[in-house]
Structure 1
Amino acid sequence: MILVLVETSLEGEAVEVSREAVTFARALSAAGGDRPIDAVTVGEPSADLVATLASYGVRRVHALTGDAFTSYAGAAWASGLISVQEQTGADLVMAAGTPRGNEVMAHVAARTDVAMAANVLAFEGLDPFVVTRQVVGGAALEEMRLGDRVAVLTVAGHAVEPRRAETPGAGELVVETPSIAEADLVARVVSTDEPEPDLSGALTSSRVVVGAGRGAGSADGFTDLLELTDLLGASLGVSRVVTSLGWRPHHEQVGQTGSRISPDLYIPCGISGAIQHWAGCASSKTILAVNTDVDAPMVTKATYAVIGDLHEVVPAINAEIRRRRG
């Protein structure tokens, strides 16, 4: 049986990467004789959430409830998840490769004394169970064999497209109130500041991202880049140096110390492509680099490249888009 931790948004909906994880679980299920898939949520889910998970093929939704689950505590979530795993006999426990998903699964793996595969992109079979995962911040891929009695893994963002199941699951709701040790609540969220509108998660979920680096020149050098994001319905992502110089806010940063993105199209403009930035954008499906340096790492790794000054190239792109749209 497969058990999937499902994270929810502030509105109580299953976040996209968790729906991707359930879709990935269905592929594993099909390869292993149609094993049932159960989901675990924190807090009692709405009827709409249960229905959504059922449409993705989930048999049961185990809701972790009680005072220990009113806010995020990685160790407590892991304890609750292990409780459900032991009840159900699940031999595969997984989550989306988010900060919380990776932390909770690390706790689960440590407590059950098994290996954990983080940021999995694909699998090659179940006997033996071999997965391909991102390592070195996404700069390299590694094949890893999971031979433990319980396999624990997280699924890299956008490794698969979230798709509803052809045959829905039963979506039975089971409310769980596991006993949680005080030690599991030592590190927990005690308060939350609401993000400004459209800042939380917009960059990581965007299908098109326009990137900007030192080549923007100054805090006033983003006018054309912002117009391009508007024309493409994209998000703006920037390099670390841009945020360090105070040109743009940190929530727009892409890279090892910022957000990791996996858009269909990434257009990095004036970004050299240092390994720290590449760690955040290596999963992009198509990269169109704009740079004056033909030997810049971003140019050499890009799918396509335009060699030129972004302040000349981007306005030309904007003009052509406007022309074609009439």
Structure 2
Amino acid sequence: MSNVVLVLIEPDEGRVHLVSREALTFARPLAGQVQALMLGRVDEAVLADCREQGVAVVHEATDAELESYAAAAWATALERSLEASGAGIVLAGGTERGTEVLAHLAARRDLPMAANVLSVTSTDPLEVERQVAGGAVREQMRLDASPAVLTMAGHAVEASAAAAPGAAEHRPFTAGVSAADLRAQVKQVQARGGGDSSADLSAARVVVGAGRGAGSADGFSDVDALAQRLGGAVGVSRAVTSLGWRPHHEQVGQTGSRIAPDVYIACGISGAIQHWAGCSSSKTIIAINTDAEAPMMTKADYAVVGDMHEVLPALLEALG
């Protein structure tokens, strides 16, 4: 198997997305050389992030059709970079797009794919440990095919700089996207409202979460206020989105976002296994709940037994 790892990286406001930087960190111990494919404009800020992560080569597909997201088109670009790099492993962060694009690649090449990988336990043969059943179970999986295709579970590792910077040699190319690749394509992106509390959950350093304990759609005013006061994002449980109180993009959990903030404040959330799968990588968890025996309370670093509608106003007042 080639000792090159090719990592699909995603943009975030002109830089490399946090989860993609984590994927590059994850890739380094597996590779003699890490190469990356950026679907999005490669500028000096992107190259600087890649150098810091020890990336040797940065491929950029310059096709105009790739400016808007289309999973099949991105997979075509990934195939071209795979052929150019000769990589033995293709890796992406376990985002919605990373997972979808790598699934296209695996299907086209009739390859097995390991999703939500937490660690690589052996490189010869390649064996990985991954999350299944919403994080309740860990599975050992062997990938005998080449290239090995896998996505890293969100925040499985913390992004860190390489011991020595990489060259990040910029290699533009044309992917040759076909009309069939563009049958499903993002045509318009509508910005979310809500100020700071609508920040990207996967990259937020502070998340204020709320569950059924909020009581209603009108019960989030203090949650929003605290998230904005702390410069963070709002996250919610699946029960909240199922009830229609908040939009799905705020959901934390197995079928929502996986977060790894410095602080997660979970208000009125019982802590079902599906939610825990999305928040367990948080560095510090503070739970507020009237039920002292709720799973979230017993797993949290700090627990406050009380009504969120009494605790949060007091906290906001104390913060001034």
TM-score, with normalisation over the residues of structure 1? 0.85
Displacement, 1:17?
A: 1.0
Evaluate the alpha carbon distance shift between residue 194 and residue 311 of structure 1 in structure 2; reply closer, same or farther with a 3 A threshold: closer
Equivalent AA in structure 2 for residue 309 of structure 1: D
Alignment of 1:86-101 (within 5 A): 86-101=83-98
* Contact 2:196/2:227 (8 A) holds in 1: no
Going from structure 1 to structure 2, the CA distance change for 1:225 and 1:53 (only over 3 Å counts) comes to same
SS in 2 for 1:164: coil
Deviation, structure 1 residue 141: 2.2
- Structure 1 CA distance, aligned partners of 2:311 and 2:192? 34
Offset from partner CA, 1:234-267 (integer Å, 9 cap, x none): 3222223334555444433323443332223322
Cα–Cα, structure 1 residues 201 and 123, in superposed 2: closer, same or farther, change >3 Å? farther
Tell me, in whole angstroms, the C-alpha distance in 1 between the residues paired with 2:217 and 2:147.
Answer: 51
1:82 alignment partner in structure 2 = 79
Whole-Å Cα distance in 2 between the matches of residues 275 and 54 of structure 1? 38
SS of the residue 1:5 aligns to: strand
Cα separation, partners in 2 of 1:201 and 1:144, compared to 1, 3 Å: farther
How far is 1:27 from its partner? Answer: 2.3
CA–CA distance in 2 between the matches of 1:98 and 1:133?
Answer: 15
Deviations 1:300-323 (A, max 9, x none): 44344333322344445556666x
SS of 2:150's equivalent?
Answer: strand
1:113 Cα deviation from its structure 2 partner: 2.1
What runs of 5+ residues in structure 1 fail to find an aligned partner? 30-34
The match for 1:126 is 123
The 2-side partners of 1:218 and 1:292 are apart by 17
Secondary structure (helix, strand or coil) at the match of 1:283 reads coil
Q: Which amino acid in the other structure matches residue 271 of structure 1?
A: I
AA paired with 1:311?
A: H
The equivalent residue for 2:6 is 3
Structure 1 residue 184 displacement after superposition: 2.0
Which residue number in structure 1 is paired with residue 206 of structure 2? 208
Name the SS for the 2:258 alignment partner: coil
Distance 1:194-1:277 versus aligned 2 partners, 3 A rule? same
One of 258, 268, 271 as aligned partner of 2:269: 271
Match of 2:166, SS state, is: coil
Pair 1:317–1:190, CA change in 2 (3 A): closer
Preserved CA contact (<8 Å) 1:115 1:146: yes
Report sequence identity in percent.
56
* Alignment check: 8 A CA contact 2:210 2:269 kept: yes
Per the alignment, residue 297 of structure 2 pairs with: 299
Q: 1:189 aligns with which of 186, 189, 196?
A: 186
Q: Deviations over 1:99-121 (max 9, x none)?
A: 00001111112222222111222
Matches within 5 A, 1:1-326: 1-9=4-12, 11-29=13-31, 35-196=32-193, 198=196, 201-230=199-228, 232-317=230-315
Kindly state the Cα deviation for residue 230 of structure 1 after the two structures are TM-superposed. Answer: 4.7
SS of 1:163's equivalent in the other structure is coil
Q: Helix, strand or coil: the match of 1:175? A: strand
Distance 1:152 1:201, change over 3 A: farther
Q: 2:199·2:232 contact (CA, 8 Å) conserved in 1?
A: no
Structure 2: tracts of 5 or more residues without a match:
none
CA pair 87-193 structure 1, distance change in 2 beyond 3 A: same
Indicate the SS of the match to 2:6.
Answer: strand
SS in 1 for 2:11: coil
Give the match's secondary structure for 2:175: coil
Q: Distance in 1 between matches of 2:198 and 2:182?
A: 25
Structure 1 letter corresponding to 2:237 = S
| Greater CA drift, 251-260 or 86-95 | 251-260
Calculate the aligned-residue CA RMSD, in Å: 2.6
